[in-house]
A = this chain, B = another copy of it.
Amino acid sequence: MRKVLLPLTLLSCTAIAAEPPAATKPLTTAEIIESATPSDWRRLDPADTLYLDLASGRVVIELSRHYAPGHVAAIKAFASARYWDGLAINRVQDNFVVQWGDPDNRKPLPKDLKPIAPEFSHATDKALPFTALPDTDGWAKQAGFTDGMAAARADGQQWLAHCYGAIGVGRDNAPDSGHGNELYVVIGQSPRQLDRNVAVVGKVWRGMELLASLPRGTSGGLGLYEKAEQRVPIKVRLATEVPAAERTNLEVMREDRAVFAAFVEARRNRRDDWYLKPAGHIDVCNVNVPVREIGVRP
């Protein structure tokens, strides 16, 4: 019997490139990605990169250079201070978030800790990069990308969107109660209702499968682990504080390039033989921005 499978999500899909290829057969998504030149890729800056190491492998997080600078600085300071050593992932709520921090208040926070301004959105200005998608959704006037991270615009404001892999800062009811020591990652359908209510600080570029496959917690309707021994130990380090030979060096496709536009169009309108009805649309949270691992540069 023939195997009946859904098609490859990446490799078997073909595309209408922004510039039509010479051949009559449209390029596959893989071919589009392969056609990217070195300048079409952006290397993650180790100074903005956080490694969340689990026993099962490494999660690579990029902290945004453009949004929530106060929160990002706080997170870097917690990482440098080894704040999360001995702490763990303590919450995995199905179709929502994975979260780590200090639910038992074991780690004292600095006594002089100052509240961080909310930074839940940012005034739209020319200094803040944004490459619009051709499509919109119902959550905002415009959707697009900043450094490959899903973003949205409305009302003169711009913010990072809660898509799969987005990382944000847990907070209490007070808008300035998020210190950056409790972080969550989206693991399900994009909870866009959180947009503009929390500081989104970055994105997981590698290792989502390690977070999303963790056992769900069952406590409090929040996905908290019932018992401390269920928690998943973590080690969090800034990439700059890891020896170069132990780093994971990633490059992300730049969104302001023709090759990215071709990639998006190939996802908006799937042209491989499996698809009967291309959607002619894509949601910003469905664009899996290309990322690749590279060797250590000499």
Contacts and interface: CB of A to CB of B under 8 A. Distances in A.
A190 interface: yes
A100 to B, nearest CB: 11
A113 to B, nearest CB: 10
A138 B137 CA distance: 5
Contacts of A96: 9
A137 to B, nearest CB: 5
Contacts of A3: 103, 105, 172, 182
B192 A189 contact: no
Given A1-B105, A102-B1, A105-B1, A221 B173 contact: no
A67 interface: no
Given A138-B135, A178-B4, A213-B94, A276 B189 contact: no
Interface in A247-274: 267, 270, 273-274
Contacts of A231: none
Interface stretch (A15-23, A35-43, A282-290): A282-290
B279 A139 contact: yes
Contacts of A120: 276-277
A138 B139 contact: no
20 contacts: A1-B109, A4-B170, A4-B181, A5-B182, A6-B99, A8-B222, A9-B96, A10-B221, A94-B212, A95-B212, A135-B138, A137-B137, A138-B283, A189-B283, A189-B285, A192-B281, A192-B286, A193-B282, A196-B277, A209-B216
Q: Which 3 residue pairs spanning A and B have beta carbons closest together?
A: A94-B209, A1-B105, A209-B216
